[in-house]
Amino acid sequence: MTRPNTLGELKSSGWASVPVAEELRRNAIDRIRNGDPIVATVLGYEDTVLPQLENALLAGHDVIFLGERGQAKTRMIRGLTELLDEWMPIVQGSEINDDPYNPISAHARGLVEEHGDDTPIDWVHRDTRYGEKLATPDTSIADLIGEVDPIKVAEGRYLSDELTLHYGLVPRTNRGIFALNELPDLSERIQVGLLNVLEERDVQIRGYKVRLPLDVMLFASANPEDYTNRGRIITPLKDRFGSQIRTHYPLDVETEMTIVLQEAVLPPADVMDVRVPEFMLEIVAELSQQARQSNQINQRSGVSVRLSVSNHEAMVANAVRRTLISGGETAVPRVADLGAIAATTGGKIEVEAFEDGSEGRVIDALVRSAVHTVFVDSVDPALHGPIVDAFEEGVTVDVGPDVGLDAYGELLAQVPALQPAVDALLDGDEIDASHPGVVASAIELVLEGLHLGKRLNKNVHGGAAQYRGRS
| Same structural domain, 279 and 227 | no
pLDDT recorded at residue 356: 65
Q: Give me the percent of the chain exceeding a pLDDT of 70.
A: 93
Task: Provide mean pLDDT across the span 310-317.
Answer: 96
φ, ψ at 6 (rounded to 5°): -130, 165
pLDDT recorded at residue 230: 47
Task: Provide mean pLDDT across the span 437-464.
Answer: 92
Q: Give me the percent of the chain exceeding a pLDDT of 90.
A: 63
Confidence (pTM):
0.87
Q: How far apart are CA 103 and CA 107, in angstroms?
A: 9
Q: Residue 210: which pLDDT band, with cuts at 50, 70 and 90?
A: low
What amino acid occupies position 173?
Answer: T
- pLDDT tens digits, 259-270: 999 999 998 888
Domain annotation covers residue 1: no
Q: How far apart are CA 360 and CA 335, in angstroms?
A: 17
pLDDT recorded at residue 154: 66
CA 99 to chain CA centroid, nearest Å: 34
Q: What's the domain range around 61?
A: 7-246
Domain annotation covers residue 169: yes
| Same structural domain, 98 and 155 | yes
Which of 246, 268, 301 marks a domain boundary? 246
| Same structural domain, 392 and 269 | yes
Which of 189, 215, 246 marks a domain boundary? 246
| Same structural domain, 172 and 266 | no
Least confident of 78-87, 336-345, 346-355, 374-383: 346-355
CB of 92 closer than 8 Å to CB of 111: yes
Domain annotation covers residue 419: yes
What amino acid occupies position 281?
Answer: L
pLDDT recorded at residue 13: 93
User: Three-state SS string across the chain, please?
Assistant: CCCCCEHHHHHHHCCCCCCHHHHHHHHHHHHHHHCCCCCCCCCCCCCCHHHHHHHHHHHCCCEEEECCCCCCHHHHHHHHHHHCCCEEEEECCCCCCCECCECCCHHHHHHHHHHHHHCEEEEEEHHHHEEEEECCCCCCHHHHCEEECHHHHHCCCCCCCHHHEEECHHHHCCCEEEEEECHHHCCHHHHHHCHHHHCCCCECCCCCCCCECCCEEEEEEECHHHHHCCCCCCHHHHHHCCEEEECCCCCCHHHHHHHHHHHCCCCCCCCCEECCCHHHHHHHHHHHHHHCCCCCECCCCCCCHHHHHHHHHHHHHHHHHHHHHHCCCEECCCHHHHHHHHHHHHCCCCECCCCCCHHHHHHHHHHHHHHHHHHHHHCCHHHHHHHHHHHHCCCEEEECCCCCHHHHHHHHHHCCCHHHHHHHHHCCCCCCCCCHHHHHHHHHHHHHHHHHCCCCEEEEECCEEEEECCC
Task: Provide mean pLDDT across the span 363-374.
Answer: 95
Other beta carbons less than 10 A from residue 55's beta carbon: 13
pLDDT recorded at residue 444: 94
Task: Provide mean pLDDT across the span 68-82.
Answer: 93
Which has the closest alpha carbon to 80: 137, 21, 139? 21
| Same structural domain, 228 and 335 | no
Tally of domains in the chain? 2
Other beta carbons less than 10 A from residue 414's beta carbon: 12
| Same structural domain, 167 and 291 | no
Q: How far apart are CA 228 and CA 231, in angstroms?
A: 9
CATH of residue 92's domain is 3.40.50.300
| Same structural domain, 206 and 265 | no
Which has the closest alpha carbon to 148: 126, 131, 128, 163? 163
Q: How far apart are CA 312 and CA 281, in angstroms?
A: 7
Task: Provide mean pLDDT across the span 222-247.
Answer: 81
Task: Provide mean pLDDT across the span 346-367.
Answer: 84
Q: How far apart are CA 148 and CA 163, in angstroms?
A: 9
pLDDT recorded at residue 355: 67
- pLDDT tens digits, 145-177: 887 777 766 676 665 566 677 888 998 999 999
| Same structural domain, 229 and 267 | no
| Same structural domain, 175 and 52 | yes
| Same structural domain, 197 and 335 | no
Which has the closest alpha carbon to 471: 408, 400, 410, 390? 390
CB of 263 closer than 8 Å to CB of 308: no
Q: How far apart are CA 431 and CA 433, in angstroms?
A: 6
Which of 201, 225, 246 marks a domain boundary? 246
Q: Residue 41: which pLDDT band, with cuts at 50, 70 and 90?
A: confident
C-alpha angle 292-298-300 in degrees, rounded to nearest 5: 85
Domain annotation covers residue 283: yes
Q: Residue 2: which pLDDT band, with cuts at 50, 70 and 90?
A: confident
Q: How far apart are CA 110 and CA 120, in angstroms?
A: 12
Task: Provide mean pLDDT across the span 359-377.
Answer: 94
| Same structural domain, 273 and 171 | no
pLDDT recorded at residue 43: 92
| Same structural domain, 417 and 441 | yes
Other beta carbons less than 10 A from residue 254's beta carbon: 12
Range among 129-138, 181-190, 370-379 with highest mean pLDDT value = 370-379
Q: How far apart are CA 431 and CA 435, in angstroms?
A: 9
Domain annotation covers residue 2: no
Higher pLDDT, 176 or 200: 176
pLDDT recorded at residue 132: 95
pLDDT higher than threshold 70 for residue 354: no
Q: How far apart are CA 441 and CA 426, in angstroms?
A: 10
* Strands of the 457-461 sheet, one edge to the other: 396-399, 464-468, 457-461
